Chains A and B, each alone.
Chain A
C-alpha cells in the first residue's frame, strides 16, 4: 500500500536547519573583501533636488565609491512595470515606476538619493553625513481627496493630475436594482495603511566572479527568477550568467515580490562595477519608508436589499492610494474591487475606483493585497442592512451565500490575473454552520451575552464570511530527480519565506514516489537549480508549484515503473512504490530500491535503448486556467472596556476551505500568522503620516505590532472542497487569516458596545480611536 502523505500533519523538514542556526539568510553571506552599502534617503516627502555634493563623502577614508543618479549613466532608468493592467474596457492607467536614485525630484520620504560603498557599514553610514543635498521643498500630496482637487501639487509633473488609474467594472444594472430595493444603505468606509513588518528586513548581496563570468545575487526576493531575468537584461549578460538565490527569508508577505527595488538593482550594479562583493541589509528604520506598504482606501459604498434581505445590488466608488509610484499596476485595487463580491450572489454591481499618486511610500500587495478592503465594505454593509431590516446578521449572510450548484460561478468582471472572476468550486453554507457551532453563536446570543450584559460587561460576537482568490497563473515548474542514494531532489523556482515548502512539496513528491518525506530534499528560490517560473505571491506556491511538483513526480514514477518492470520482470500493473522501493504486489521478496534503479538508469557502459533519457528525472510545468477561490468564516468573541476602550479577544474561530489540504499543520500555521497580521491591522498597526508626508511612527516603539498577549489561541477547522483547476485539488491559504479580521473585529466590537450605539466604518482602530468613537456616539445621543 502506498502511504498517504498529502493531508498528513508531517513535521517540517526545514526546522532542524532553522532551529539550529544553520539556515542561510542573505545577511549571513560573507565573501572575502566584501564591501558594504548605505543609502542616503530623502527626508522630504516632496522636494526638488537642486544640488548634491558627494565630494566630502568620497574623500572619507574607507569609502570606496559614492554614487548619485548622474553616476549611473545608462543604468539610470525607471524600473519595469511589473504587472500590466488587465484588459478592462475604458481603463486608464498611468505607469510611473520607481527610479534607482532620485534625479530631479524626490517623491517620498525614504527614496534613495545616493549610495555609499565602503569597507564597512559603519564607514558607509558615517559617509552619509558628509553628503550635502540642496533641496527645494514642495508641498506634499498626502490626502486622497485633496490630491484630486484642481491645482493640487503634482507628484509626477508630466501628468495632468495625480490620477494613476481609473477603472469601472459593472455587472448587471445597479441603478435598476436600486429602484426596486426595500432598503438602500450607504456609508463611507476608510481603510488606512500598515506595514508588512516581516521579521527579516530586505537584504541584497552580490558578487561577480570574473573567472566563472557569473554574477551571483543573494536577495530576499519572493521571485528570484524574474529578478534574474531583469538583471541579466539590465547588465547585458546571458540569463545563465546571473544566478539569483533567495535563501531562507524571514517573511515575505508581498513587499519582497519581484520589485526591482533601487537597492536590488544598485547592489549588483556596484558589484559589477567595482569587481568586489557588495552587501546591503536594510535596517528597520529604512524598512518603514523604503519597503512597500499596505494600502489606504476610501470607499463610498451602498447596498440595495430586498425585504427578505436578499442583496439586489452593490455600488462602490473608491479612492486608492498607490503611493509615489505604481510599478505593481492595479493588482491591489482590483483585488478590493473583486473580493467585495465575497461568497455572495450579488446580481448587480457597479464598482469604480481611482488610484492616486501621493508623496508616500509605494503601495504594493501586502498579505491580503486589498482583499480585506472589499471584505470590510461588504461585511459592514451587510451588518448595517441586517440592522435596518431587522434581520439577524448571520441570517442575512446565509440568505445570500452562493449555493453549491451555482459553481463554477461567473461574476462577470475581470480579476487581477486578467481572467474573468469565476469561482471554481465552493460549499459555503456548511462552513458558516461549522463556525457558528464551534463558537456556539446561538448559545452566546441567547444566554451568555444577556447574562454578561446584565452583569455590566460589554461582550460581543462577530461572524463574517470571505473568499480569497488564490493560486493564479501563469505557471510554475519543478524538476524531480531520484539520486543513486535513493534520496529524491526537488527543485522549483518559487521562493520560500517560511511557508513550509520544503515539507509540503516533499509530501506531494514523496506520496507519488513512495518514499519518506524526509528523503525528499527540496530546493526553492535558486535560479541555478531551476530557472523557469514567476514567484511566490497571491497564495499560489502550494497550488501552482505544488502541482508542478506533482506532475514532475508522476513523470518520474512512469520512468521508475518502466525500468522496474524490466528489472523485476513483472508487469507494470503489478508494481507498487513504497518504502523507497518498487516491489511486486504480493511477492515481498521481489523488490528493488529506487537508488539502484537510478544507478541503472545512468549506465557507464553498454547500450541504452534508443529514445530513452538517462536518470530518473523529469521536469514538468503547471499553469492553471485561472485562480482557484478559497473561502472561509471567521468568528470572534470580544470584551470591550468602554472606560479604556481596550478590547480583549476572548475566542477566535477560523473555519477554512482551501480545497485539498496538503499539510493541516502548515495550513494552521498560515492561518495563525494571518490572523495575527489581521489583528494588528484591525487594532494596532497604522502608519501615521502628517500633512507634510512625514511618517510619524517609524519604529516599533510607536508602530504597534500585536504581541503574544494580544493574539488569542486560534481555533481552526478545515473543510475541503477540492479545486477542479489543479491535480492536487488545492487552493491557496497564505492570506486567508488576514483578510476578514478587520470586518469581524468591527462587528464584534460594535456588538459589544450595542448600548453605546457606536458605528465602525474604519480600520485600523486603536484604543484611542475607539474611545473617540465612543465619545462621538455619546454626543450624538445627547
Chain B
C-alpha cells in the first residue's frame, strides 16, 4: 500500500520539524495512539488502537525509527506495527519545504506492507482509512502548531 500526499502547515519549518520529533505531541496527533515513548536515539515505541471497516479496533504495538535525518529538511521513517489483527511494515519519506516564512509544505510517501486480518478482511477500506488517519494526524499537528505559535505570542 502506498500512501502519499502533501500538507501545508501554518508555521515555520523549524517548528514543524520540532513537533515531528516530539513523541508527546505525536501521541496526541495520531488517531488511536495510546502511548508513544522514546526508546532510544531516533527510535520510538508505542501502542495504537486501530480498526479498519469491518475489523473491530484492536491494539497494535508500534515501533518507529527515524533515519537519514537532515534537519529541518527531511527524514525517513521505518514503521513496524503488529497485533492480533495483523501487521504493517514499511518506510516513509518526509520532506519539509519552507514556502514562506510561516508556510511549510510537507511531502510524504509511505510504502507499507499490510498483512493479517486488516489486509484480508479490511482490504477494501484500507487505503481510505490510511489516508484518513494520515490526514487527521496532520490536521491535529497543525492545530498544535497554531496553538504553540499563539502561546509564544507570535502575531
Q: Which residues of A are at the interface with B, using a C-beta cutoff of 8 A?
A: 43-45, 109, 128-129, 137, 285, 288-289, 690, 692, 694-699, 701-702
Contact (Cβ within 8 A) A285 B84 = no
Query: B6: CB under 8 A from chain A?
Result: no
Count B-side interface residues using an 8 Å CB cutoff: 16
Determine the chain A residues whose CB is within 8 A of the CB of B123 once the complex forms.
696-697, 702
Query: B21: CB under 8 A from chain A?
Result: no
Contact (Cβ within 8 A) B121 A43 = no
User: Taking CB as reference atom, which chain A residue is nearest B54?
Assistant: A701
Tell me which of A44, A137, A699 contacts B120 (CB under 8 A). Answer: A699
Contact (Cβ within 8 A) B121 A699 = yes
Given contacts A690-B119, A694-B114, A698-B120, 8 further A-B contacts (CB under 8 A): A43-B86, A43-B116, A44-B115, A109-B120, A137-B89, A285-B121, A698-B121, A701-B121
Contact (Cβ within 8 A) B119 A694 = yes
Interface centre among B89, B115, B120 (most CB of A within 10 A): B120
Main secondary structure of the interface of B (DSSP, over half): mixed
Query: B113: CB under 8 A from chain A?
Result: yes
A698 to B124, CA, bound (A): 11
B81: shortest Cβ distance to chain A, in Å?
12
Interface readout for B101-141 with A: 1 if CB under 8 Å, 0 if not?
00000000000011111011101100000000000000000
Interface centre among B82, B84, B89, B124 (most CB of A within 10 A): B84
Main secondary structure of the interface of A (DSSP, over half): loop
Contact (Cβ within 8 A) A43 B87 = yes
For window 71-102 of chain B, which residues contact chain A by CB distance below 8 Å? 82, 84, 86-87, 89
Contact (Cβ within 8 A) B120 A694 = yes
Determine the chain B residues whose CB is within 8 A of the CB of A690 once the complex forms.
119
Determine the chain A residues whose CB is within 8 A of the CB of B114 once the complex forms.
694
User: Taking CB as reference atom, which chain A residue is nearest B53?
Assistant: A701
Determine the chain B residues whose CB is within 8 A of the CB of A45 once the complex forms.
115
Interface centre among A43, A129, A695, A702 (most CB of B within 10 A): A43
Q: Which residues of B are at the interface with A, using a C-beta cutoff of 8 A?
A: 54, 82, 84, 86-87, 89, 113-117, 119-121, 123-124
The total of Cβ contacts below 8 Å across the A-B interface reads 47
A121: shortest Cβ distance to chain B, in Å?
15
5 contacts between A and B (CB under 8 A): A43-B116, A109-B116, A129-B84, A696-B119, A696-B123
B87: shortest Cβ distance to chain A, in Å?
6
Interface centre among B86, B87, B114, B123 (most CB of A within 10 A): B123
A-B CB proximity, top 4 nearest: A698-B120, A43-B116, A696-B123, A694-B119
A43 to B88, CA, bound (A): 11
Determine the chain A residues whose CB is within 8 A of the CB of B86 once the complex forms.
43
B78: shortest Cβ distance to chain A, in Å?
13
User: Taking CB as reference atom, which chain B residue is nearest A289?
Assistant: B120
A345 to B116, CA, bound (A): 49
A43: shortest Cβ distance to chain B, in Å?
4
Determine the chain A residues whose CB is within 8 A of the CB of B117 once the complex forms.
43, 285
Interface centre among A109, A137, A289, A694 (most CB of B within 10 A): A694
Determine the chain A residues whose CB is within 8 A of the CB of B119 once the complex forms.
690, 694-696
A688: shortest Cβ distance to chain B, in Å?
8
Determine the chain B residues whose CB is within 8 A of the CB of A697 once the complex forms.
120, 123
A692 to B120, CA, bound (A): 12
Interface centre among A45, A109, A699 (most CB of B within 10 A): A699
Contact (Cβ within 8 A) B115 A43 = yes
B79: shortest Cβ distance to chain A, in Å?
14
User: Taking CB as reference atom, which chain A residue is nearest B87?
Assistant: A43
A128 to B85, CA, bound (A): 11
User: Taking CB as reference atom, which chain B residue is nearest A45?
Assistant: B115
Determine the chain A residues whose CB is within 8 A of the CB of B121 once the complex forms.
285, 698-699, 701-702
User: Taking CB as reference atom, which chain B residue is nearest A110?
Assistant: B120
Contact (Cβ within 8 A) B120 A695 = yes
Determine the chain A residues whose CB is within 8 A of the CB of B54 once the complex forms.
699, 701
